[in-house]
Structure formats: structure tokens, C-alpha cells
Amino acid sequence: MKQYIKFLVYLTVLLGLSVARAGSYEDFFIAIKRDDSKTITGLLLRGFDANTIDPGGRHGLFAALQEGSLKAAEALVAWPRTNVEWRSPKDESPLMLASFRGHTDLVRKLIARDADVNKPGWTPLHYAATGAHLEIMKILLKEHAYINAESPNKTTPLMMAAEYGSTDAVKLLLEEGADPLMRNELGLSAVDFAMRANRKDAADLIGAAIRNAQPNKGKW
């Protein structure tokens, strides 16, 4: 009889923990959506795993960045057990997403947590250049981001800035030493990227850099 009672007590505890965890799981991702950093911090202090994946396969920090829940993201970055180097199925990191969205303070905090500035493939600098976020580009470059980083198809940050960013982003990369002569796997240069987006100002800027690099080659 005593063993049976012990079993019932043990089963009750297990069921209680399971229900509590289920409630915490829902509360955690609702708090992320609502940008409720206080609830998130409370759950973490009570033992909830910051690296739990939501039903859509997203890490909590990544979900917060996608939702634009910046207070929630800051709470998760501040939590020492949060894996800031989690990668999405597309190999995107939280630092890449913060760089693309222009969240400068979060970029600084992620780097302070040793987020990888120079991950293989697409990099945070590609994403910052695409969004033309100059301050973030400067931060990444100061942290030794490789300026001529090549994506899987050999696209560089300069190419992304030329087509999607801004003339100022192109200018910054060129001034910092980006190679205007590089081509991707399709044979396209940064000038080609600019021209297919009808961005003559960016194309002219890159063309001038090419002429300066090859003074005897004539016009690009």
C-alpha cells in the first residue's frame, strides 16, 4: 500500500511538472509576441530553457527578432544561457537578422556575447549592407568583418549594397577596401548588380573605383 501511495505521489509530481512546463511554453512564446520582457525574465529565472523552439521551428531569440519584439530580444540576449549562435534552416543567425533590421543596440549586445561576425556563407555584413545600415556596417567592420566575404554563390556585401542598399553603403565599403572587381558564380560584378537595379549612381561610384584601381583600363 505504501509503495502504491508513493507511486501516486510520484505520478502527481510528474504530471504537475508536465502541466507547468506546457503552461510555461505557451507563456514564453506569447510573451515574445507581446514583447513582454518581464514575463520572459521571470520564466527564465524559474528554470525555463531560453533555447526552446517554437511550433514553427524558431528559437526564442530569433522569433523575437522576427516579431520586432526588441525588449524580449534584449532580455534573451542578456540571459547567459541563451544560445546567440542558433541558426535557422536558412543558416541565418540572430546577428544577421539584427543587422538586416537595423537594430544597432542589439548588434552591439550580440557581439558582446561573442556572436559570430564572420560566419561562413552569408554574413551579418551582407545583411547590413542590404539594409544600408551604415552604423551597423561600421560596427561589424570594426569587429574585423571580412569585407569581401562571399556567400555560397560568391555574392559580396558590395554587390548587395549596390543593388539593394544605398549609395552611401557602397561608398563606405569601397572606402574600407571592398574589391569592386569581384564576380559571383554567374559572372556578375558589383556594377552589374547596380545596373540591373537601375542604380546609375552606385554603378558610377563603383566604376570610378575600378578606374582608380586600373588606371590604364579605360571605362568599366
Q: Which residues contact 97 (CB under 8 A, 6 or more apart)?
A: 62, 65, 66, 127
Name which of 3-12, 134-143, 208-217 the model is least confident about. Answer: 3-12
d(CA 169, CA 134): 6
pLDDT above 70 for 14: no
Residues contacting residue 78 through CB under 8 Å, at least 6 positions apart = 109
C-alpha cell at 109: 549586445
> What integer pLDDT is reported at residue 215 of this predicted model?
61
- pLDDT cut 90: percent of the chain above it: 85
Q: What are phi and psi of 189, to 5 degrees?
A: -100, 175
Query: What is residue 112's predicted lDDT score, i.e. its pLDDT?
Result: 98
* Crossing angle for the helix pair 60-67 and 94-101, to the nearest 10 degrees: 10
Inform me whether the pLDDT recorded for 220 exceeds 60. no
Q: Do 121 and 89 contact (CB within 8 A), yes or no?
A: no
| CA nearest neighbour of 101 among 125, 65, 73, 75 | 65
What contacts 90, CB < 8 A, 6 or more positions away? none
Instruction: Give residue-wise pLDDT tens across range 146-167.
Output: 999 999 999 999 999 999 999 9
54 phi-psi bin (left φ>0, alpha ψ -120 to 50, beta other): beta
Residue 120 has pLDDT above 90, yes or no: yes
**Confidence at residue 7, expressed as pLDDT on a 0 to 100 scale:** 36
Sequence-ordered list of residues with C-beta below 8 angstroms from that of 144, at least 6 positions apart, any chain: 117, 118
Report how far apart, in Å, the C-alpha atoms of 47 and of each of 24, 43, 198 are.
10, 7, 53
Q: Return the DSSP state at 52.
A: P
pLDDT in tens, 104-115: 999 999 999 999
Exposure of 49 in the CB half-sphere (CA atoms within 13 A): 8
Please give the Cα distance from 26 to 71 (Å, whole number).
18
Quote the pLDDT of residue 213: 80
Rounded CA-CA distance 138/112 in Å is 15
pLDDT at 4: 41
Average pLDDT, the chain: 90
- The answer to whether residue 137 scores a pLDDT higher than 60 is yes
1-83 and 88-220 agree in CATH topology: yes
Q: Hey, what CATH class is 88-220 in?
A: mainly alpha
CATH architecture of residue range(s) 1-83: Alpha Horseshoe (1.25)
| Average pLDDT, integer, range 21-34 | 88
Task: Tell me the pLDDT band of 60, cut-offs 50, 70 and 90.
Answer: very high
Q: Where are the domains of the chain?
A: 1-83, 88-220
